[in-house]
Structure 1
Amino acid sequence: MKLLVVGATGTLGRQVARQALDEDHEVRCLVRNPNKAIFLKEWGAELVKGDLCDESTLPAALSGVDAVIDAATARITDNLSAGQVDWQGKVNLIKATKAAGVDRYIFFSILNCEKYPEVPLMDIKRCTEIFLAESGLNYTTLQLAGFMQGLIGQYAIPILEDQIVWVSGESTPIAYMNTQDIAKFAIRALSVSETEKKTFPVVGTKPWGAYEIINLCENLTDKRTRISRVSLTVLGLMRRITRFCEWGQNTADRLTFAEVLASGKPLDAPMDDVYQTFGLDVKETTTLEEYMQEYFTRIMKKLKEIDYEKNKGKKKKGKIPYRNQF
C-alpha cells in the first residue's frame, strides 16, 4: 500500500512512518522542511515538500497514494496557530484527499474532545472529526489520551537532574501510551474493514496520576523529587496574559489544555473491544513501568559510560592503582 504520512517528523508521526515501512508499505511524507526530515529518507521514505496551510502543495503529495495517515498538529513553538494547522490545514487536506480520489483516511484526535468545547484544541479536534465524517471519505479516527514520550521531559529528566517537578491542579489520571503502540493501531486499521467509518479510543493499559509517575521514577532512580504545585487559578492567569501577545497564542491554547489535565477527571477508556476489533494483543502493549524502566536503564548506562570516559587515565593522588594492589 502506498501511504502519505502527514506530520511525520513529530513524536507520533515518525513512529507511524517507521511502522509502515517495517510492514513493507511504501511511504511518502509531506514535510515543510526536507532538511529536518533526512532521517525519514534514510529509513526509506519518500519526501515531498509541502504545507497543509498551502493547499496548492497537496495534490502532488496525494498523487498515486492509497491512504492518508494524518498525524500533524501545531507545535507550541510554531509561528502558525492551532486554528491554522489543526483546523484550516486539516480541512485543506481532507478536501484535497477527496479531490484526489484517495478513499482511506486515518485521523488522530483527542479522547473526550466533545466534552470540552471551551478548550480550543479539543474543540478543533471535535469539529475536525465531524467534518471528516461528513466528507464521505472512508475514515478511521483514533482518539488518544497522552504519549509516554512526553513524560521524559516532564518527569524523568527533572528528577535525574534534581530539578523541581511541577504538578498542576488535581493531577488528572491519564492512560498514557507509547507512540510505537499507537502506530500499530494506525497501520492495522488499513487492513481491518471493521474499523472503517468508525471512531475508537486508543489509550494505555492504565491511567496514571502525576504522583504515581513521580513515585515510579523515584523507585527506579533511588532519587527523591522536589515537587511544586501550580493551582488552576495561576494557570488561568497565565493563559489570559499570554493571549495578549501574538507570540503567546499557541502557549495560551496549551495552557487551556493544561487546565483540562489538571481537572482531576480521568482520561481513560475501555479497550477490550478495541483490541479485539484490531486483532492486536494487549500483552504486547508497552506498560508505563516497562517504558520508564527501559529509559532509566539506558540513561544510567550512558551516564556511567560518560563518567568512565571522563575519568579514564586520571591518576588519583595518594592511592595505589587497583591493578597494582595484588
Structure 2
Amino acid sequence: MTLLIVGATGTLGRQVARRAIDEGYKVRCLVRSSKKAAFLKEWGAELVLGDLCYPETLPGALEGVTTIIDAATSRATDSLTIKQVDWEGQVALMQAAKAAGVERFVFFSIIDADKYPEVPLMEIKRCTELFLAESGLNYTILRLAGFMQGLIGQYGIPILEGQPVWVTGESSPIAYMDTQDIAKFAVRALSVPETQKQAFPIVGTRAWSAEEIISLCERLSGKDAKVTRMPLNLLRAVRGFVRFFQWGWNVADRLAFTEVLASGKPLNAQMDEVYQVFGLDQRETATLESYLQEYFSRIMKKLKELNYEKTKTKKEKNKRSPFKKVNSQ
C-alpha cells in the first residue's frame, strides 16, 4: 500500500504523516515546495511535487497510490481563496483519485458544516462531503471541531506577553483535540472496514468556551489576561467593507467563520460509539488541561532558565576584575 498524504506540511497533516510512518506505511507526500517539506523526507516520506490548484500535476503524483489522507485546506497566509483550495482543488483531487483507481480516501471536514450555509468554509465543506460521497470513491469523512495547537497562539502567547486576547460575541464551546490524537483516527480508519463510506465526528473530551480557556491559561501561567471584546456587529461591518475589494475576498470569507465561533452554539459530539468503531481507548486521548499544562510547564521552565542565565551574566560583569588597574600614587 502506498499512502499519499495531501497537506502534509500543515499542523494536522504533519502529525498524520508522522503517525503513518511510525506504523510502517509507505508514505508519499504531495508538496508544493521540497525545501519547506524537507523534514518529511527526513522522517522517511517520499516527496512528490504537485498542487491541488494545478490539476495537471496530480496524475503523476498518484501513480501507484492506493490510499489518500487529505488534510489540505487553505491558510490565512495564502493568496489563494477558500473556494480555490477547499472546493476547486478538492474536486480536482477526488476526480484524479477516481481516475487513478485509488481504493481509500480519508477526508477531514468540520462538524456541523450543514448548519451554517451562510459561512463560505462551512458550506464548501458540506458540498465537498456530498461530492466525495457521490464520487464512487471508498471514503471516510472525519468531522473535526478545532485543534488544541491553535490555542497557543490565540491564548497562551498573548497572555504570557501581556498582549490583548480577543473574544467576539457569545463564545461557542468547542471540543478541541490534539492533532496527534486526530492522526490516530485517520490512520486507524485505513485498517477498520466499518469506517468505509461513513462519516464520524472526531472531537475532544469536552467543549470549552473562550472564557474557560482564558481562566485555565491564567491559572497555569500565573498571569492575568487582558481580554478585549469585539462586538459581533463591528466584525460584520468590517467583513462587509473588505468584501468590496478583490484583495479582501479571502479575508471576508475567513471573518465569516467567526460567526460560528461567536454564535454560542457548541461544536461538540458524543464519541463513545466512535471510539468503539475505531478500537481506540478514550482514556489515552489528551485533555485540554493536560495539553496546556505541559505547554506552560515547558515555557515557565525555559523562562526561569533564561532569567537565571541573565542574572548570572549580570553578576559576572559586576565582579571586580583581577586585571583592574590600580591608581598610581
**TM-aligned CA deviation for residue 136 of structure 1:** 0.7
Structure 2 SS opposite 1:89: helix
Deviation digits for residues 84-104 of structure 1, max 9, x if unmatched? 000000000000000001120
Give the equivalent residue in structure 2 for 1:214.
Answer: 214
Relative to structure 1, the CA distance from residue 317 to residue 195 in structure 2 (aligned partners, 3 Å threshold; closer, same or farther) is closer
Q: Structure 2: how far apart are the matches of 1:81 and 1:308?
A: 47
Q: Structure 2: how far apart are the matches of 1:11 and 1:76?
A: 13
Q: Structure 1: how far apart are the matches of 2:126 and 2:99?
A: 23
**TM-aligned CA deviation for residue 248 of structure 1:** 2.2
Structure 2 SS opposite 1:36: coil
Residue identity opposite 1:133 in structure 2:
A
**TM-aligned CA deviation for residue 284 of structure 1:** 0.4
Give the equivalent residue in structure 1 for 2:269.
Answer: 269
**TM-aligned CA deviation for residue 142 of structure 1:** 0.3
Residue identity opposite 2:129 in structure 1:
E
**TM-aligned CA deviation for residue 247 of structure 1:** 2.5
Give the equivalent residue in structure 1 for 2:249.
Answer: 249
Give the equivalent residue in structure 2 for 1:136.
Answer: 136
Q: Structure 2: how far apart are the matches of 1:184 and 1:293?
A: 22
Give the equivalent residue in structure 2 for 1:288.
Answer: 288
Residue identity opposite 1:31 in structure 2:
V
**TM-aligned CA deviation for residue 192 of structure 1:** 0.2
Q: Structure 1: how far apart are the matches of 2:44 and 2:317?
A: 54
Structure 2 SS opposite 1:4: strand
Deviation digits for residues 165-213 of structure 1, max 9, x if unmatched? 1111010000000000000000000000000000000000000000100
1:117-136 aligned at under 5 Å gives the runs 117-136=117-136
1:76-225 aligned at under 5 Å gives the runs 76-225=76-225
Give the equivalent residue in structure 1 for 2:312.
Answer: 312
Structure 1, unaligned stretches of length 5 or more? Answer: 321-326
Residue identity opposite 2:299 in structure 1:
I
Query: What is the percent sequence identity of the aligned residues?
Result: 68
- TM-score, scaled relative to structure 2: 0.95
- TM-score, scaled relative to structure 1: 0.95
Structure 2, unaligned stretches of length 5 or more? Answer: 321-329
**TM-aligned CA deviation for residue 243 of structure 1:** 1.4
Structure 1 SS opposite 2:314: coil
Structure 1 SS opposite 2:254: helix
Asked if 2 retains the 8 angstrom alpha-carbon contact of 1:235 and 1:259, the reply is no
Q: Structure 1: how far apart are the matches of 2:258 and 2:313?
A: 49
Relative to structure 1, the CA distance from residue 7 to residue 318 in structure 2 (aligned partners, 3 Å threshold; closer, same or farther) is closer
Deviation digits for residues 62-107 of structure 1, max 9, x if unmatched? 1111200000001111111010000000000000000001120000
**TM-aligned CA deviation for residue 35 of structure 1:** 1.1
Q: Structure 2: how far apart are the matches of 1:189 and 1:48?
A: 24
**TM-aligned CA deviation for residue 319 of structure 1:** 9.4
**TM-aligned CA deviation for residue 318 of structure 1:** 8.7
Q: Structure 1: how far apart are the matches of 2:183 and 2:105?
A: 14
Give the equivalent residue in structure 2 for 1:62.
Answer: 62
Q: Which runs of 4+ in 1 moved over 6 A?
A: 316-320
Residue identity opposite 1:63 in structure 2:
E
Give the equivalent residue in structure 1 for 2:326.
Answer: none
Q: Structure 1: how far apart are the matches of 2:47 and 2:311?
A: 44
Deviation digits for residues 11-31 of structure 1, max 9, x if unmatched? 100100011011111111101
Give the equivalent residue in structure 2 for 1:323.
Answer: none
Give the equivalent residue in structure 1 for 2:323.
Answer: none
What is the number of equivalent residue pairs in this alignment?
320
**TM-aligned CA deviation for residue 241 of structure 1:** 1.7
Deviation digits for residues 9-53 of structure 1, max 9, x if unmatched? 111001000110111111111011111111111111111111001
